[in-house]
Amino acid sequence: MEKKKKGVMQSIPGWAWVLISLAAAILLWYALSINPKTARSFPFIPAILEAAKRMIDNGALGQDFCSSMISILAGFALGFVTAVPIAFLMAWYLPVRGVLEPWIQFIRNIPPLAYVPLVVITAGVGRKPQIIVIWIATFLIMTVTIYQGVRNIDNTLVKAARVLGAKDRDIFVKVIFPATTPFILTAVRLGISVALTTLIAAETTGATAGLGMRIRSLANSFETAGMLMYIIIIGIIGLVMEKIIKILRRKVNRMAGEERVTKLKIDNVKKIYQTRKGEMTALNGVNLDIKENEFICVVGPSGCGKSTLLNIIAGLDTPTKWSGIY
C-alpha cells in the first residue's frame, strides 16, 4: 500500500505541486484576512490590487522599483568584481589570508542595519550609501563562498598540472577556474539574496525612493495593503533572479560538458597478459571519454594498469578485447 501511495505521489508533475502550494497559501491568506485579530495585517487580494493600481497611477511603484534595482545591481556588481580576486588571493597566498580573513569573518557577523547610520553619516543621503551597504554585504558573503570553493580544489590536480609543465596561468585557466565555477555561481545566488535583504536596511535611512523606503513610509501610516504589495514584489524579484541564475548555471554546465567535442573515447577496453603463472588482467572493461580542452589525470598504485592504458591510447599496445577506441 505504501509503495502504491509513493508511486501515485511521484506521478504528480512538478507544476501540479506548485499549484497545490499556491492554492494552500491563498487559503491561508484568506483565513488570516477574515480573522478579526489578523485582518488588518493581512488584507486580501482585492485590497492588494487596489493598492497596486494606486501606486502605478501616481508613478510611485515604477520609481521605487527602478531606484531599488539600480542600487541592488550596482552594489552587487561592485561586490562581485572585488570578491572574486580577493577570494582567489586569500586561497593562494597565506599572507593575504592571514591579514584579511579575520576582518572578513568579524564584519560578516555584524547585521547591515548596525552600520547603515555610519555609512549615511559618512557618504550622505541618497543612493550612494545604499550602494555602499549592499557592496559590503555582498562582498563578504561572496568572498567567503568563493574562497571555500578554491580551498576545496583537489591539490592533486594542481600538482599533476605542474609536473606536466603547466604554468600558473594555465593552471588557473584550465584547472582552478573551471573547478571553482560552481562555487562562483553559488556565490552569485547568495549575493543576490543578501543584496535584496540588505536593500531594506539600506533604504530605511536617508532614502528618497525605493521599495524599502516605501515600506517604511507605508508602515508609518499603517497602510498594510501597500506594505504587503511591496513585500510581495520583493519576493517576486528574488524568485526571478533565482530563476535567471539557475538558467545561467545550466548553460555553464552545458558549455563545460555536453557541448564540448569528445576528442578520445575508450569503450570497454580489456587487456590480458600471458605470464608463467597464467593470465594477468591489467585492464578490465575500462571506459573513458576525454573532451576538448579537458585535463585528465590517471592516478593509481603501481601495477593498476596506468601505463598499459596510456600505451593503448598511444597505439604502442593492442587491447585483448574492446568495443571501440576512437
Structural domain boundaries of the chain?
54-256, 262-325
pLDDT tens, residue order, the chain (326 aa): 454 555 566 677 777 888 888 899 899 988 988 888 888 888 888 888 888 888 888 888 888 888 888 888 999 999 999 999 899 888 878 888 888 888 888 888 888 778 878 887 887 777 888 888 899 999 999 998 888 888 887 777 777 777 777 777 777 777 777 778 888 888 888 888 888 888 877 777 666 778 888 888 888 888 888 889 988 888 888 888 888 888 877 777 666 554 556 777 777 788 888 887 778 788 787 787 777 666 677 777 777 778 888 887 777 787 887 665 66
Fold observed for domain 54-256: MetI-like fold (1.10.3720)
Phi, psi for residue 76 in degrees, rounded to 5 = -65, -45
Is residue 74 within 8 A of residue 132, CB to CB? The reply is no
Whole-angstrom Cα Rg for the chain: 28
Give the Cα separation of 20 and 10 in Å (integer).
15
Give the Cα separation of 303 and 280 in Å (integer).
11
Is residue 268 within 8 A of residue 285, CB to CB? The reply is yes
Give the Cα separation of 45 and 52 in Å (integer).
10
Give the Cα separation of 286 and 320 in Å (integer).
12
Is residue 179 within 8 A of residue 153, CB to CB? The reply is yes
Strand 324-325 with 278-291, pairing: unpaired
Is residue 214 within 8 A of residue 60, CB to CB? The reply is yes
